[in-house]
Amino acid sequence: MTQIDGKLPNLYGRWSLYVALAGLVFVLLAMLDSAPYSNVEQDFTVDGSIRTGSLILPTNSETPRAVMIFVHGDGDMGRSAFGYYYPLWQRLAKQGIASYSWDKAGVGGSDGNWLKQDMQSRAQEIHAAIAMLRQQQQLKDVPIGLIGFSQAGWVMPKALKDFTQISFAVFVSTPVNWLKQSEFLTQIRLQKEGVLGDAKLQQMQQAQNVSKLIAQGEAHSAYVDFLQQTDPDAVDSAMSPERYHFVQQNILADSEQDLSGIKQPIFVAFGNHDSNVNVPYNVRQYERIFANNASQLQLNVYQNANHTLLKNSEFGHLSPSLWWLIKMSLWEEDGFSEQFVDDVMLWLNTQLTQLATQKTQSLGA
């Protein structure tokens, strides 16, 4: 077949995109039609700012057994995290558990700008969401839990230690210390780029100097000037003023003190193929923090699992995109590492059983 002016490949490309989009729409419609839940638009207000969200109510019960609040990681996340939450919502609904998630500030219909938030303000969002949920007749007395991802590891402990209405929490791929996390990401980047020896040491020192400059409160212009003087090639990829301000607000984040102050049981999950978080280091931190109350912590490291706890062999080479969403839609819960979802559900059921027993004993007394 003869190619004329390069148009044939473009035609094929367009048609493949159309077919993929049609397939995605079909799969999503099928999923929604068979989903064991209803998706109710439910917003709340925090400090006069609206957050738009979805309340996922199981259809197998008028009164859910509990409600899980989803807490996003980094980035401009909408309420479903690009469809990543759908399989989890489904499984929770099958267990009679409701879910609630919202669009981050400045995303979807939500007011504000998530880049202007620190971890404490994000914890305040959780408190405001709980206040709204408690106004719902079917949720006014049910246990409330959190499930959060990555950066949420600095948000949830603040909400947990300040709010007794939260009964338990699930932490997924959550680092403890921001600076240690930043250092690890630099090491991974240099490893991928094949930088070794003295060159690696120099670049690691450069990254530490940048972090120090940010932590000291220097202006964005000073940061750019520093790069121009020390690493001109890095100027083109420098953080925007907005991202710089966000990092500056949060660079000293460390969840140890907040974690030490919580009383609720927590489930912590990591994947052994996580290239975003230093898993061995963070496992040690969690085990050390809860060493005096080991029963409060369940911590599992899953095999063949990446940062999202999806199967690394199937999703490790993909980033969130149209093709990622199609594959996620087709695989649903099976996309997650073996046992991860089952383990979370078993743990949640255990917590709910214990809470029910305590409530019965309290009423009997």
pLDDT per position as a tens digit, 26-66: 555 555 445 789 999 999 999 999 999 999 999 988 899 99
State both tokens at 251. Answer: 């660079």
Give the 3-state DSSP-derived string for 95-156, with helices as H, strands as E and coil as C.
Answer: CCEEEEEECCCCCCCCCCCHHHCCHHHHHHHHHHHHHHHCCCHHHCCCCEEEEEEHHHHHCH
Q: pLDDT value at position 196?
A: 94
Which residues sit opposite 166 in a β-bridge? 144
> 47 near 129, Cβ under 8 Å?
no
State both tokens at 160. Answer: 């947990």
Q: Which string of DSSP letters, residue by residue, matches 39-68?
A: EEE--EEETTEEE-EEEEEETT-SS-SEEE
Q: pLDDT value at position 25?
A: 55
Q: Provide the pairing of β-strand 37-41 with 53-58.
A: antiparallel
State both tokens at 268. Answer: 């912590």
Q: pLDDT value at position 23?
A: 56
DSSP 269: E
The SS3 call for residue 301 is strand
Separation of alpha carbons 152 and 73, rounded Å: 5
Distances (CA, A) of 242 to 95, 186, 251, 320, 361: 41, 21, 14, 23, 52
Burial 115-140 (b: 16+ CB within 10 A, else e): bebbbbbbbbbbebbbebbeebeebe
Q: pLDDT value at position 9?
A: 43
Separation of alpha carbons 139 and 132, rounded Å: 10
Q: pLDDT value at position 332?
A: 87
| Residues of the chain under the 50 pLDDT cut | 1-14, 17-18, 32-33
- Residue in the structure block whose two tokens are 């979370």: 344
Separation of alpha carbons 145 and 167, rounded Å: 6
Q: pLDDT value at position 7?
A: 41
State CA 52 to chain mean position distance. 18
Separation of alpha carbons 190 and 271, rounded Å: 21
pLDDT tens digits for 297-328? Answer: 999 999 999 999 999 998 877 676 677 778 88
Other beta carbons within 10 Å of 10? 10
> 89 near 99, Cβ under 8 Å?
yes
> 96 near 111, Cβ under 8 Å?
no
- Find the helix or strand (DSSP H, E) in which 300 lies: strand 297-302
Other beta carbons within 10 Å of 284? 12
pLDDT tens digits for 3-14? Answer: 333 444 444 444
State both tokens at 116. Answer: 């202007």
> 183 near 147, Cβ under 8 Å?
no
State CA 35 to chain mean position distance. 22
